[in-house]
């Protein structure tokens, strides 16, 4: 039975979960102890372990949590995750409302997490100010290019690119129209909308 330690102290969200998941995926039968230094990371890793139906034990030592996750053959592995035709509709260059600065940070974190996920979407649709993300100087351009290299289709609304006068700056994916956007949404098993 394997035993590994993942030290995620000092890492920002979502890295503690991503790093723990990578190590869990690398073992078939054994345990992984994730060391975290905040409640949010602890709760996120516990949620991951529960979603995989693994046994979990948490110990607190001073300001740190030691989360031992025991993976047995009965636990779900990422190879067992159901693949679906998932589409992500991005209608803004920031995620959420309130602070634009925070929204940009959240969008960058989200795109990185999508890239790191075991089951990326089939397609990502960019409309309204979301098209800025697919153009030069985008803070998430590298993540989108990596996703495209993994086979994720990237489509940006041509009307939106024209409206913002940035069509010539498109760096990832292709220009599309509202008919194709609607077609992709209608054929999807699941659609996530970000704004």
Same-domain pairing of 93 and 189:
yes
The average confidence (pLDDT) of the chain is 90
Same-domain pairing of 58 and 94:
no
SS3 content of the chain, % helix, strand, coil (to 5): 40, 25, 30
Same-domain pairing of 74 and 92:
no
Same-domain pairing of 90 and 35:
no
β-pairing verdict for 30-36 and 2-7: parallel
Looking at residue 77, its pLDDT comes to: 55
CA dihedral (146, 186, 83, 47) in degrees, to 10, reads 80
pLDDT digits (tens, 9 = 90+) for 81-94: 455 799 999 999 99
Same-domain pairing of 12 and 60:
yes
- What is the percentage of the chain residues whose pLDDT exceeds 70? 94
**Residue 75 in this model has a pLDDT that exceeds 80:** no
- What is the percentage of the chain residues whose pLDDT exceeds 90? 69
Residue 138 half-sphere exposure toward CB, CA atoms < 13 A: 26
Q: Is the distance from CB of 95 to CB of 69 less than 8 angstroms? A: no
Looking at residue 52, its pLDDT comes to: 83
Last residue of a domain, which of 56, 79, 102?
79
Same-domain pairing of 95 and 66:
no
Looking at residue 82, its pLDDT comes to: 52
Q: Is the distance from CB of 68 to CB of 39 less than 8 angstroms? A: no
Q: How far apart are the C-alpha atoms of 17 and 12, rounded to whole Å? A: 10
pLDDT digits (tens, 9 = 90+) for 97-114: 999 999 999 999 999 999
Same-domain pairing of 93 and 184:
yes
Model confidence band, residue 28 (pLDDT cutoffs 50, 70, 90): confident
Last residue of a domain, which of 79, 100, 118?
79
Same-domain pairing of 60 and 7:
yes
DSSP 3-state of 147: helix
E-state strands within 37-173: 55-61, 64-71, 86-90, 123-126, 153-157
Q: What is the CATH number of the domain that holds 175?
A: 3.40.1260.10
Please tell me the pTM assigned to this model. 0.70
Region 129-145: mean pLDDT is: 97
Region 129-151: mean pLDDT is: 95
Looking at residue 80, its pLDDT comes to: 45
Looking at residue 48, its pLDDT comes to: 87
Long-range contacts of 105-113, Cβ-Cβ distance < 8 Å, separation of 24 or more: 107/133, 107/139, 107/140, 107/194, 108/139, 108/140, 108/143, 109/12, 109/13, 109/14, 110/194, 111/140, 111/143, 111/144, 111/147, 112/14, 112/140, 112/143, 113/14, 113/18
Residues of the domain holding 63: 2-79
Number of domains in the chain: 2
More confident call, 14 vs 193: 193
């Amino acid at each position: 039975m394997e035993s590994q330690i993942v030290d995620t102290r000092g890492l920002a969200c979502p890295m503690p979960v991503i790093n723990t998941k990578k190590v869990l995926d690398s073992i078939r039968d054994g345990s992984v102890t994730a060391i975290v230094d905040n409640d949010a990371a602890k709760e996120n890793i516990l949620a991951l372990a529960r979603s995989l139906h693994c046994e979990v034990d948490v110990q607190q030592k001073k300001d740190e949590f030691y989360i031992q996750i025991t993976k047995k053959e009965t636990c779900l592995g990422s190879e067992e995750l159901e693949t679906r035709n998932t589409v992500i509709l991005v209608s803004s260059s920031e995620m959420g409302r309130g602070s634009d600065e925070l929204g940009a940070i959240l969008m960058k974190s989200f795109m990185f997490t999508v890239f790191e996920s075991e089951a990326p979407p089939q397609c990502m649709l960019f409309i309204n100010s979301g098209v800025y993300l697919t153009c030069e100087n985008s803070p998430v351009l590298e993540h989108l290019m990596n996703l495209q290299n993994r086979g994720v289709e990237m489509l940006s609304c041509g009307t939106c690119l024209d409206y913002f006068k940035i069509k010539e700056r498109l760096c990832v994916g292709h220009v599309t129209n509202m008919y194709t956007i609607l077609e992709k949404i209608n054929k999807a098993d699941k659609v996530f909308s970000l704004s």
